[in-house]
Structure formats: C-alpha cells, structure tokens
Amino acid sequence: MAEYVPFLDEDNITRKASATITGGQMVYISGDGTVAPTTGAVANWLGMAGFDAAVGDNVTIHTEDFPKATASGAITAGDALETAAAGKLAKHTLGTNDYLVVGYALNTVADGGTVRLKSIR
C-alpha cells in the first residue's frame, strides 16, 4: 500500500500572502497557493494568520483552535461568528448560510474589541 502523508501538519499550513497580512487576521484562499485577509463573510476561509506577512511572503495559518480575534461590530457571548472585512469576525445570523459559521463567541465585546471564541473546526 502506498504511504499516506497528511495534508495538514498539526493543524497549521503555510501559504503565500497575496496581500499584506497582520498576525491574528482571518484569511481565505485567494488563489492557487495564496491567502489574503477575509473581505467579508466567505465560505473559503482557511484560518488565522500566525504572524505578519508582506505580499509574497510565506505565512503560517492556524486552521483550528484560534482562541481570539478582532470583532467587527458588537458581539454578544453565545453569538455565532462569521468572517468579516479586514480579517475580523462578526455576528452571524443563524438560519441563513450557516455554513459560514467559524465558531461561537465566549464573551461580549464592542466593535474592535477582542472576541474570544470556540472555533468549530
């Protein structure tokens, strides 16, 4: 039988930045082997950038267990969350496009605050 090599190594993967990325931003698949900060609620989000990266730099993406992010708009503990512009997270209204849910808020924060979350991946 052929050897199987896992695609993910400990829930982290590396891709090239197609835009400037700040560590802690949510990123999405922007092209073949590239990622960029999310621009809104996207289904092809990949995870959270582990550090800052300039265009063309490699960046590590945490695909699971990212415990906090920047809030886009007010978020209440228990809210479902989705990706938002500038690599942030926003409240998701359950019942509409629920495949966009990234996780659930563990605290209540105002716009720009740090939301703690339980990611669902």
Q: What is the pLDDT of residues 83-93, one digit of tens each?
A: 999 999 999 99
Its pTM stands at: 0.88
Residues 25 and 55 in one domain: yes
Q: Structurally, how many domains does the chain consist of?
A: 2
Kindly report the backbone phi and psi dihedral angles of residue 99, in degrees, each rounded to the nearest multiple of 5, phi listed first: -65, -10
Asked if residue 115 is part of any domain, the answer here is yes
Give the residue numbers spanning the domain of 54. Answer: 13-62
Q: What is the pLDDT of residues 104-120, one digit of tens each?
A: 999 999 999 999 999 88
Residues 75 and 104 in one domain: yes
Whether the pLDDT of residue 9 is over 70: the answer is no
Q: What percent of the chain has pLDDT over 90?
A: 83
What's the CATH code of the domain at 82?
2.40.300.10
Asked if residue 8 is part of any domain, the answer here is no
